[in-house]
Amino acid sequence: MADDDGRSRRHHFLLVAYGFQSHINPGRVLAHRLARLGGADGSISATLSVPAATYRCMFPSPDADAAAPETEATTDDGVISYVPYSDGVDDGSVPRDAADWAARRRATSASLSAVPVTCIMCTVVFLPALDVARELDIPVTIYWIQTAALLAINYHYFVHGYGELIAAHPADPAHEVRLPGLSRPLQIGNLPSYQTDMLGSEGTKAFIEVFQEFFQHIGQWQPKVKVLVNTLDELERSALAEMKRHLEVFTVGPMVGSSTETRIHLFKHDDRDKKRYMEWLQGHPDKSVVYVSFGSLSKYTKHQMDEIVGGLRQCGRPYLLVVRRDGLADYDDESGDLEKNTQSKGMVVDWGNQLEVLSHPAVGCFVSHCGWNSTMEAMVSGVPIIGAPNMFDQPTNMLFIEEWELGIKAESNSGGVLMGTELARCIELVMGEGAKAMAIREKAKALRLRRQQQV
């Protein structure tokens, strides 16, 4: 790249990610792609910045806990660099109140400002990134790691006053709302959970306040803010067309990397675990295994997990169940109850390389919480989805999974519990030989083949 006078110019992108599993790997994949755009001359470099507490999980060292973020060495993987940012607390905790949040925001902005860059990017909604862009007068780009539909829903909710329309019907999940750019009306129950929280929890209030400020800022920014959306044009043409009227929107999906790439795991995952479950998969026929994982944030009671295991056993198919022990509310970790309940048909692991599992030919369907990263990984792997959405964007993602005919929803009962009989019914509906199962599998396979042709 060169300036107008012909001199070579170097560009340094700083991509700031929240310290969640669901943000880090998409951030890493984008940072790698940006760095490789520079080619052999190295005219483009990229750095992925994460909270100090997360950085220490990613790159543990004996004395890391005692080190201040500014003294921790930048890590390099040969393509991009990694650097921690400090919120002034650095213990991974959430802010206690508004004053604490404001202090952490200032500290985060100051920490990020110390990194010399030509453009700052952030995953989804990150106010300190906007602060740094204004302070240093550099471009800011939003990396939207959710659907274009979610971008449109949030934009119109926070910028164009649709929040009042939604708030008027919070107790009626079947009430329909039509938003600009969406191909179909949405029911209240399909909207993001933070927009329909009738109890107004402290977490929801904080979420709403951050989104409100964020969308007001990017809606007024001149020139228009660039937004990179991790989606596919063929899936969301109307939502993308709508948002291009308001922002500079570009599709960059599927931003999942390949199944052979090294991935970052914030949870316990070593080569022995991987060898065990991959060898187990290898021993099963193609399309025979039910893969079950509900992501990095979901928590489940013993009752709910017993129902899930009961449903898996009822369907009689082999299954790989991923369950983080800290995600189980009332299981006795030491008793081994979960493993005992699985008997010989299933395998239980704490964590796994999801994209590698989904890419394995033995996997026939994916029982998922329908986070967008998981949904994209299933789509690029050609694996049908059985959705059990819980929170955030998951109900909306599930709606479109059904619209795209890539899977079905497993309905919870009136108490919010997914019963084993319902799970077993859905597994048979997707993995059986009926017309619906065949149609879903063909849709998933066709989408996967199209993505392979475009890569």
Q: What b/e string do you get for 18-40 counting C-beta neighbours within 10 Å, with b at 16 or more?
A: bbbbbbbbbbbbbbbebbeeeee
CA 11/CA 261 separation, integer angstroms? 25
CA 88/CA 128 separation, integer angstroms? 13
Q: Is 348 strand, coil or helix?
A: strand
Single out the residue of 263, 293, 256 nearest to residue 381, CA to CA: 256
- Cβ–Cβ < 8 Å for 140, 121: yes
- The residue assigned the tokens 């040969």 is 78
CA 308/CA 368 separation, integer angstroms? 12
Residues paired with 83 in a beta bridge: 49
- Cβ–Cβ < 8 Å for 129, 140: yes
Cβ-proximal residues to 99 (8 Å cutoff; 6+ apart), any chain: none
Known catalytic membership, residue 246:
no
State the Cα angle at 259 between 253 and 264, rounded to 5°.
85
Residues paired with 367 in a beta bridge: 292, 386
For residue 85, the 8-state DSSP code is E
Element (H, E) at 97: none
Pairing assessment for the beta strands 248-251 and 75-76 based on DSSP bridges: unpaired
Q: How far is CA 405 from the centre of its chain?
A: 21
CA 132/CA 134 separation, integer angstroms? 5
State the Cα angle at 289 between 284 and 292, rounded to 5°.
140
- Cβ–Cβ < 8 Å for 365, 386: yes
CA 352/CA 389 separation, integer angstroms? 20
Q: Among the options 23, 32, 265, 369, which is catalytic? A: 23
Catalytic site residues? 23
